[in-house]
Amino acid sequence: MNFKLLEKRILEDGRCYAGGILKVDSFINHQMDPDLMMKIGEEFSRIFKNKGIDKILTIEASGIAPAIMMGAIMHLPVVFTKKKQPKTMDNMLVSNVHSFTKDRTYTVCLSADFLKKGERVVFIDDFLAYGNAARGIIDLCRQAGAEIAGMGFIIEKVFQGGGDYLKSQGIDVYSLARVKSLDNCKIELE
């Protein structure tokens, strides 16, 4: 993968914090640059165009922007899992996710109406770190009987091992930018 526009932006505008935290909240996950997000959607569309995908899955909130851009280009429905179970939602698929980055455990919920047996889905998210959100998605897809055609992330923190874990589970993983190290609060890309 070689997505120089994104890599340049991460190096220019990303900020490091102790504990392997990379903040990209001026252009990806608090303030968002929609032009960049459109290019990210185009890149994911290019990567996944021949994978026979029925649906795009993501997790609220930071996955929604790249996923909806990809969906608009590929004309595919996008479903985002919710972190709190809505009181009007029955027939739910539920899994628990622990975020080391945010140091909290949350639930990912999905109406079973929107993930069906045999559907081929791609999971899109902003970050791949330890892979715990992705594990929650794998669990939801297993519960539904849906098939994972691949996973796409804007930024992978390679040193946190989520990518290796997902590949060991036979999942095709594509990351648009791969961060090799954040040691000494310096962003080093692969």
Q: Which residues bind a copy of itself (CB under 8 A)?
A: 17, 21, 23, 25-26, 30-35, 37-38, 60-61, 64-65, 68-69, 71-72, 75-80, 82, 86-89, 102-103, 110-111, 113-114
Residue 111 vs 165, nearer CB to a copy of itself: 111
Residue 110 vs 177, nearer CB to a copy of itself: 110
Quote the CA–CA distance of 52 and 138 in Å, as a whole number: 18
CB of 31 to a copy of itself, least distance (A): 4
Quick one: which of 99, 110, 24, 14 has its CA closest to 66?
A: 24
Return the C-alpha torsion angle 143, 65, 149, 4, nearest 10. -150
CB of 102 to a copy of itself, least distance (A): 7
Tell me if 23 sits within 8 A of 14, measured CB to CB.
yes
CB of 169 to a copy of itself, least distance (A): 26
CB of 37 to a copy of itself, least distance (A): 6
